[in-house]
Amino acid sequence: MGWKVKKEAAWLDLLLLFIGQYALTKILEEVRVLTWDITPSLWLGMGFLALLWGLYRLPGRWPTLAAMGIFLMGSLWYLLGSENLQGQLTRILGSFGGNVTGNVTTAMTFLMAWVAMLLFLVEIVLNLHWPLLLAGAALPLACPFMAIPLNLPGMFALVVFLLGFWLWKRLKNPGKSAPADKKTAGSFRRLGAGLLAGVCCLFALSWLVAEATQQTLYTIPYQVESAVVKAVRQQMGGSLDMEDGSVSRGNVYAAGVLLMDIYANQQPTSTIYLHQSSRGDYENGQWEDNWDEEIYERLEQSGVEWESWIGVEWDRLSDEERESWSGTLRTLMDSLIYELNYRYLRTEPIGLGIYPVESDQTSKPMPYFSQAVERQIEGGYGAYYYPISLLAIPWNRVSDEEPLNRELLELYRQEALDYYTRLPSGQLTKFRQLVEANPLESLEEVTMFIHHTLTTYATYTQAPGMFPLNADPAEYFLFESGRGYCQHFASAAVILYRMYGIPARYATGYSVKPSDFNLENGEYHAEVTDESAHAWVEICMPDYGWVPVEMTPGGPKIPELPGIPASTLQEVLKNQNWDFTILQPPEPELPQTRPQEYNPTTRPQTQEKSINLKPLLWIGLIAAIVLLVYRGRKWLLARQRRLPPKVLYARMVEGLHFAGLLTGLDGQEADFAAQLSAVLPELESLDIPAVLLLVDRDAYDREPLPEESRQAVWQFYETAMTLTAQRLPWWKKLIFRYGKLYI
């Protein structure tokens, strides 16, 4: 029979339960949307654990089960009768959507009491440790997804709780192959305590190093992730796609897959935005379809004199004729600015030939202020367009000569004011606070305010890390992390424009810079890959309709707006007196590879040259840990070599069972030597019965075995365990050698 821990020592169970309760309380304290006082929750939970532990020590289990039953019935009765508790629990559930809860101390105290009971039930009553071990291991991985900082005291206590209970249960229930005397069991207890202390020290050391070098450490997995994603997409034929309207909550990497070739009849002088889609409603990181269908339906029913356009009264048209005219109206709106600029200025537009790699591509991304080429182009399509710098429509002449054109643009803008300034109520509270702190009216002021805010208080990166699931990604990007890419910059810009009453949409497509074009055979050629996939904000301006505005770092320092000189915008920026109290300075940017379509310029800074010792410290730490593990393993094996033969024999039987050999035997059978030779034939050269006789002498004789006999038993154990390890798969062999330390 193995030595059993006395019942009086069970106070360690209570201590470890206290540590577990403390760990969970400290971790939940970091949830940023919960406001609660942890003191009553912690003391009530610990008091309840002490009560259950005291009742459990009484004869029989009925006092503990009765207390749990009373708690269950009482808590349900309180829940059903307390509107305050119900309201707080509802607000806690709402926090998973990013909503701020207000004070929920009552509900959290209620929940932590339940946590205390569940801890006691699983660990003490049911004697199950693996569910909590799995949950505890998953908790640090889940914290970033819920925007919960990894609280050092809480995580340290969690490690102590999980490993402490595991070691303690191993000592309380040693099994058949456990040490046979109290002295040997005591050495194992000290060894287990030493291992636990070593693990805790290693955890604390690694935590401090990770906190000190986290910027460098985070770069490594991002670089690996980037290489893997690119390799997979290149092999599988996939590419970066932004067309679903979702704002990513993680990192983004393009694969460099060629999507289309573009040929221009002259060198473009500004970025070409190939518009593919625009979005309308927004809620919690998802942009829905735009509202243009509804707007055109309302325009058709407006007071415009359509008879002047189509030569017949609108009411006399059939449904088919109205549908045909509706399509004509959309086409007219898409190319109206191009037509007016061409008719009144006769300026030569830039011609583009666009050739998608996928011949069956249904969507045709088009530049702004463009008109499609009517003739068929084999393998592609063509367009003429005007960059913003060439737009100079004489609107006074347009009002005199074509008043309906200008009226149509204004009618559309009025409808857009109704649809494209909508935002979900009760959400985006930090955006609203920023806007309320900076009341602005003119388009010039709003544009420069948004541009300055995003380029100053946020940093472009393709690897911002994971955004929490219970936070709006646009709000988290600007007010929490300060790091993101085009989807986040564009979303934040659209939200701010809408809050200032300016109609704005989230647009996606491709951005092609002038530097992407190379002169080839008299034409300018650019290869467009998924690295050019981009998202931007477009605003509906008087007279010009939808205009792209670049808010992602790397674009022009002063946004381009038709009809508004750059000097006007510069003057606004020069005289600004904006309040950015709610915003925090951006964190230092992680070193990484910039996307091909952007090469943001950084503000000049004076910086002293210094030697970066972090890589050397990190290498030294890794080397120290490896050396510590190596030396620690050798020390433990040396101690194992000095164990009594009877203990070595018990460990050998345990190792055989771990490997799935002789699992139905305990080593005391008369034919054990024969069966051992059958599963490990290589041992036949050794005198197994003689070794077993030495083990029996060590177990029952008062005199210790001579050193030669002890060495013989050790050599037999070492040979048997080496042969056993050779029969294991690689992963189980690692556990056998480095986890269980059998050899």
Question: End of a domain among 146, 181, 216?
Answer: 181
User: The domain containing residue 81 runs over which residues?
Assistant: 7-181
Residue 268 to residue 270: CA distance in whole angstroms = 6
Residue 607 has a pLDDT of 37
Residue 234 has a pLDDT of 56
Residue 443 to residue 437: CA distance in whole angstroms = 17
Is 284 inside any structural domain?
Answer: no
- The answer on pLDDT for 621 being more than 70 is no
- The answer on pLDDT for 211 being more than 80 is no
Residue 696 has a pLDDT of 86
Residue 603 has a pLDDT of 36
Residue 173 has a pLDDT of 59
- The answer on pLDDT for 9 being more than 50 is no
Residue 611 has a pLDDT of 42
Residue 629 to residue 31: CA distance in whole angstroms = 36
Helix (H) or strand (E) holding 367: strand 366-367
Residue 287 to residue 281: CA distance in whole angstroms = 6
Q: How many CB atoms lie within 10 A of CB 131?
A: 12
Helix (H) or strand (E) holding 384: strand 381-385
Question: End of a domain among 124, 153, 181?
Answer: 181
Residue 335 has a pLDDT of 82
Pairing of strands 350-356, 258-264: antiparallel
Intra-chain end-to-end CA distance of the chain, in Å: 25
- The answer on pLDDT for 201 being more than 70 is no
Residue 177 to residue 662: CA distance in whole angstroms = 13
Residue 592 has a pLDDT of 42
User: What's 736's DSSP letter?
Assistant: I
CA 237-241-243 angle, to 5 degrees, is: 140
Min mean pLDDT across 37-41, 279-283, 613-617, 626-630 is at: 613-617
Residue 209 has a pLDDT of 53
Helix (H) or strand (E) holding 383: strand 381-385
Residue 526 to residue 520: CA distance in whole angstroms = 10
Q: Give per-residue pLDDT as tens, 517-560.
A: 999 988 999 999 888 999 999 999 998 999 999 999 988 889 99
Q: Give per-residue pLDDT as tens, 136-158.
A: 777 776 666 555 666 777 777 88
Is 711 inside any structural domain?
Answer: yes
Residue 535 has a pLDDT of 93
Is 310 inside any structural domain?
Answer: no
Query: pLDDT over 70 for what percent of the chain?
Result: 75
Q: Give per-residue pLDDT as tens, 447-479.
A: 999 999 999 999 998 878 777 767 888 998 999
Residue 247 has a pLDDT of 87
- Mean of the pLDDT values across residues 288-305? 77
Min mean pLDDT across 131-145, 171-185, 510-524 is at: 171-185
Residues in Cβ contact with 453 at an 8 Å cutoff, skipping those fewer than 6 apart:
434, 478, 496, 578, 580, 583
Residue 467 to residue 469: CA distance in whole angstroms = 7
Residue 703 has a pLDDT of 81
Q: Which residue did the predictor score with more confidence, 617 or 332?
A: 332
Half-sphere exposure of residue 451, counting CA atoms within 13 Å on the CB side?
A: 22
Are 595 and 485 in contact by the 8 Å Cβ rule? The answer is yes
Reference 408, options 348, 343, 332; nearest CA is 332
pLDDT band at 1 (very low <50, low <70, confident <90, very high): very low
Residue 242 to residue 225: CA distance in whole angstroms = 19
- How many residues are recorded in the chain? 743
Helix (H) or strand (E) holding 110: helix 105-120
Is 504 inside any structural domain?
Answer: no
Residue 596 has a pLDDT of 40
Is 649 inside any structural domain?
Answer: yes
What's the count of helices (H) and strands (E) in the chain, helices before strands?
25, 14
Residue 85 has a pLDDT of 87
Min mean pLDDT across 108-117, 256-265, 330-339 is at: 330-339
Pairing of strands 366-367, 370-372: unpaired
Mean pLDDT, all residues of the chain: 78
Question: End of a domain among 141, 163, 181?
Answer: 181
Reference 713, options 657, 641, 664, 659; nearest CA is 641
Q: Give per-residue pLDDT as tens, 547-604.
A: 999 999 988 889 999 989 999 999 999 888 898 888 855 444 444 443 444 333 333 3
- The answer on pLDDT for 622 being more than 80 is no
Residue with tokens 């415009």: 304
| Region for 51 from its dihedrals, namely left if φ exceeds 0, alpha if ψ lies in -120 to 50, beta otherwise | alpha
Residue 244 has a pLDDT of 76
Residues in Cβ contact with 222 at an 8 Å cutoff, skipping those fewer than 6 apart:
251, 463, 590, 592
Residues in Cβ contact with 690 at an 8 Å cutoff, skipping those fewer than 6 apart:
none
Write out the two tokens for 525: 């050629």
Beta strands in 148-205 (DSSP E): none
- The answer on pLDDT for 648 being more than 70 is yes
Residue by residue, DSSP assigns 282-317 as: EETTEEEE-SHHHHHHHHHTSS--THHHHSS-GGGS
Report the domain count for the chain.
2
Give the residues across from 366 on adjacent strands. Answer: 275
Of the segments 18-22, 508-512, 659-663, which one has the largest average pLDDT value? Answer: 508-512
Residue with tokens 């149509």: 408
Write out the two tokens for 386: 């005007």
SS3 (DSSP) at 556: coil
- Mean of the pLDDT values across residues 385-414? 86
SS3 (DSSP) at 215: helix
